[in-house]
Chain A
């Protein structure tokens, strides 16, 4: 009796939950409304079946529960009924399947003349490539992946010279233009998902997979990786900005072609030394840092990391949060480096400074920290020397008080929340695993042992 009532209530409750729940697909931003339609059809058919069978079940339990003197009916089979049920079910299945397959055929077949964009996934960030004026992508050789050739471009392929390389987590696409997304991975499986576009596809190393869609409204949309790709999977976030055609072209022209990235002007250490005079006031003439002035050690840090942070400061991606007192001091200093050459020069000079380990100032339980550090090691390396491909800086031998401050900044949203600081955003997600002061001190104590 109770069971019959509960079953009926669960059915009613589920229906109410469905209609009243605020949780449903995010508004669509692509041409794939037909996918939403197939979901809708499936919902109605399965919903009706769910309600019908379960209410029948509840009624049967209620009506035929054991009563004094009651006896069950003896009817082992009813072929006619069974055939009818089979036929009805088959019809239901056909109604579900047919529209599904029709839409799938549209998904599989990309319209003629669709523009192509390549999305590249790697642990744990995104980058993008456009084919350039010739409309053809140059070939990629995975054996060529390196710091100097992060896209693995084949240098001898003429098609590749004008390819536009976007070394950023953010990509722009023009509105109302169909786009075929070619998907590549440099390392493990990933999956390119934009919830508003409805479509997704895995990225498989050794293969180029694809999908297509037409963005139908402008806006900014989160890109999530939806195939488990290691310990920082959940921090692999990118962004698609859908622009009007003009704004898209402007954005695209701000990125270098492959040929342009090959032109490297050698940095001038002497010029850098002159520029460093400003820096040395706080960071010290030897780049060793100065805790009293809240200036961290620079010597020994990877050049690409220093470059990124200086650019972040200059672009306002760092040092603009109102609670970031010391970052706000650094921002105007970074602004004194007028161009890319100035940044390259000063970094080249820092690279010549002696790399003596910064003194340990943070105390904690290194043994416990070692366990926590297992997660950190995936990007910062087991020896905490940093990894270029992970875009993760060196930690070992650097200013520990500074790391402690920065982890807190990341946790409190002072750093890593600016839209342009997408790699910082990843660290902000990771830093939350350190729940309290104790966790932070322990993990830094371990880093100090490396």
Chain B
């Protein structure tokens, strides 16, 4: 029996009847993607603001009355959690995943559009619950983004009376939202590809988002149960994570729980989470690099296997976050080995990006600048990971600013550079307008050079032994005065980078209405989303007939071809002959 893809089946799409159902209560994956993106970016700006407040305190201590330790630790915590979960995870999967999966696969929409819509609204609810913690007595939790008990739920930690509970509830809601979206992405990739779109013809973006989603579906439950268990410890007096302890001069009723159990659960989620963010970035950047280098991605099959290998191994490296946690130290041997093994497929990806550029025809467009900058920062961040992954080397560096610098380089700066590369790259398709190139260039140079100026020196604070999560250093014998000068310099760079993001926001908003009209395929890209009959694509994406795929996603500069790219849906006879689709 012939296989009929879901998107091919005769089945009426839900057609919106009003402005409200078109743009707000919408089941269109593209609208949902934009909703996800705007929400994630907005909440990310809040987290950015908090990081600047932290930097003000670190760079210029004893200056600002509005940053007491209580608030400082709240900023630390909310900044981290918002950036990792509510910005990056939501943006890559809810934003780019939603927009690109159906379009790149030649589908009309996600397989479960209604569920997809609910996914966004539940995500929004999670964000609102989280933000509500700013307005309750005691404010949001200040337990650090890892929320380690017993501290997280005890007096002496900001927000222990209510903020932490709202955080746990918000996370649980977020995971429900993610699961609704995630199931959609997986089923859509597996079931709704158009005719000819075999798995090995899928763009790397799809492979990466697909794998990241599978990771999420397997990893988030660990966070979900730990949120539930901690809530029970807090509200019902259970002792999952709480041993017998003293708090504020009194012994508590808890007994027998294990704080390290929480850490295992948290990082069983937390490490795959790194790749839930990183893999989509890998995928998106591969497509941007290939397109703007006018060259096929180098080693496509190896890239796919590397994504899958990284995804698989990412589930057996989690305890490298816990080398000095007090867990059985013999675990160190296993986790150091697995962690360094994961460096191999990761390195292969880096080689292949660079080799994609080699002998290419590199168009240094704004998205391409961001993509190449990503390679640079990712190499840096990846290599410092080899310090922290190798258990004994981690010992002196753990809990210092080296860790902060490392993970910001690899999980903050690098994915965010990809976010910008991707937003600039797909902006013409999403809005039908071209962004302002000059503003894009200004944004790029300030962001790239500025972030490097922040994070390169920060590693050296770590070598000095400056501990992270310190509100103030005070006088510590082994830390020279010059560390404070360095901190002030980092703060200045951070303020510049933070301000530079306004250039981006202005550019996006201005270009959306005033930008030059972009054609349907301004970059000359091969993948299906650039071959839609309308730009921006209409509801249902493809008009009356679905595209048929004839080739892989990376036919750039094929010898003998008429143009330097051949769209995936172009039949062989058209590619070399005169007949181009448009």
Q: Report if A and B associate in a common complex.
A: yes
- Report which A residues bind B (CB closer than 8 A): 1, 3, 6-7, 10, 14, 17, 21-26, 35-36, 38-39, 42, 45-46, 49-50, 53-54, 56-57, 60-61, 64-66, 70-78, 81-82, 85-86, 89-90, 93, 96-97, 100-101, 103-105, 107-108, 122-123, 142-143, 145-147, 183, 185-189, 191, 193, 195-196, 198-207, 209, 220-222, 224-235, 237, 371-372, 374-375, 378, 381-382, 387-390, 428-430, 432-436, 438-439
Chain A hits for B476, CB < 8 A: 222, 224, 237
| Contact present for B295 and A73 (CB under 8 Å) | yes
Does B521 touch A at the CB level, under 8 Å?
no
Indicate which residue in A107, A187, A196 contacts B478 across the interface (CB closer than 8 Å). A196
Q: Assuming A220-B477, A228-B73, what are 13 further A-B pairs, CB within 8 angstroms?
A: A25-B463, A57-B379, A71-B294, A76-B297, A85-B348, A108-B329, A143-B255, A187-B247, A189-B259, A204-B260, A206-B245, A207-B243, A234-B470
| Contact present for A433 and B392 (CB under 8 Å) | no
Highest count of chain B CB atoms <10 Å: which of A54, A86, A108, A224: A224
Complex: how many Å from CA A193 to CA B247?
23
| Contact present for A142 and B249 (CB under 8 Å) | no
Chain A hits for B352, CB < 8 A: 82
| Contact present for A56 and B354 (CB under 8 Å) | yes
Which stretch in B9-17, B212-220, B368-376, B503-511 binds the other chain? B368-376
Highest count of chain B CB atoms <10 Å: which of A108, A225, A438: A108
| Contact present for B330 and A108 (CB under 8 Å) | yes
| Contact present for B390 and A23 (CB under 8 Å) | no
Which stretch in B97-105, B115-123, B202-210, B333-341 binds the other chain? B333-341
Closest residue of chain B to A186 (Cβ to Cβ) is: B246
Indicate which residue in B138, B391, B469 contacts A233 across the interface (CB closer than 8 Å). B469
| Contact present for B559 and A231 (CB under 8 Å) | no
Given A57-B376, A220-B477, A227-B399, decide whether A73 and B359 contact each other with a Cβ distance below 8 A.
Answer: yes
| Contact present for B399 and A72 (CB under 8 Å) | no
| Contact present for B386 and A231 (CB under 8 Å) | no
Chain B hits for A145, CB < 8 A: 246, 251
Question: How far apart are B146's CB and chain A's nearest CB, in angstroms?
Answer: 8
- Which residues in chain B, 431-471, are within 8 Å of chain A measured between CB atoms? 449, 452, 456-457, 460-461, 463-465, 467-471
Closest residue of chain A to B139 (Cβ to Cβ) is: A374
| Contact present for A57 and B354 (CB under 8 Å) | yes
Complex: how many Å from CA A6 to CA B449?
9
| Contact present for B245 and A186 (CB under 8 Å) | yes
Complex: how many Å from CA A227 to CA B461?
17
Question: How far apart are A318's CB and chain B's nearest CB, in angstroms?
Answer: 18
- Report which B residues bind A (CB closer than 8 A): 61-65, 68-70, 73, 138, 142-144, 148, 150-151, 154-158, 243-249, 251, 255-260, 293-302, 324-326, 329-330, 332-333, 336-337, 340-341, 343-344, 347-348, 350-352, 354-355, 357-364, 369, 372-373, 375-376, 379-380, 383-384, 386-387, 390-393, 395-400, 449, 452, 456-457, 460-461, 463-465, 467-474, 476-480, 482-483, 486, 554, 556-559, 564
Complex: how many Å from CA A186 to CA B478?
28
Indicate which residue in A35, A232, A434 contacts B396 across the interface (CB closer than 8 Å). A35
Complex: how many Å from CA A108 to CA B473?
31
Question: How far apart are A107's CB and chain B's nearest CB, in angstroms?
Answer: 6
Chain A hits for B154, CB < 8 A: 187-188, 230
Highest count of chain A CB atoms <10 Å: which of B392, B393, B470: B392
Closest residue of chain A to B77 (Cβ to Cβ) is: A228
Could you write out 14 A-B pairs with CB less than 8 Å apart? Answer: A1-B364, A24-B460, A39-B393, A42-B393, A50-B379, A61-B357, A76-B297, A100-B391, A104-B329, A200-B395, A204-B259, A234-B472, A432-B61, A436-B65
Indicate which residue in B68, B151, B244, B472 contacts A142 across the interface (CB closer than 8 Å). B244
Chain B hits for A24, CB < 8 A: 460, 463-464
Give the top 9 A-B pairs by smallest Cβ distance, nearest first. Answer: A206-B243, A195-B465, A209-B326, A73-B359, A226-B399, A72-B557, A142-B244, A188-B151, A26-B478
Highest count of chain A CB atoms <10 Å: which of B326, B337, B400: B326
Indicate which residue in A70, A85, A97, A199 contacts B361 across the interface (CB closer than 8 Å). A70
| Contact present for B144 and A435 (CB under 8 Å) | no
Chain B hits for A196, CB < 8 A: 478
| Contact present for A202 and B325 (CB under 8 Å) | yes
Indicate which residue in A54, A74, A93, A185 contacts B558 across the interface (CB closer than 8 Å). A74
Indicate which residue in A70, A89, A231 contacts B156 across the interface (CB closer than 8 Å). A231
Chain B hits for A146, CB < 8 A: 251
Complex: how many Å from CA A104 to CA B483?
30
Chain B hits for A207, CB < 8 A: 243, 260, 326
Question: How far apart are A248's CB and chain B's nearest CB, in angstroms?
Answer: 20
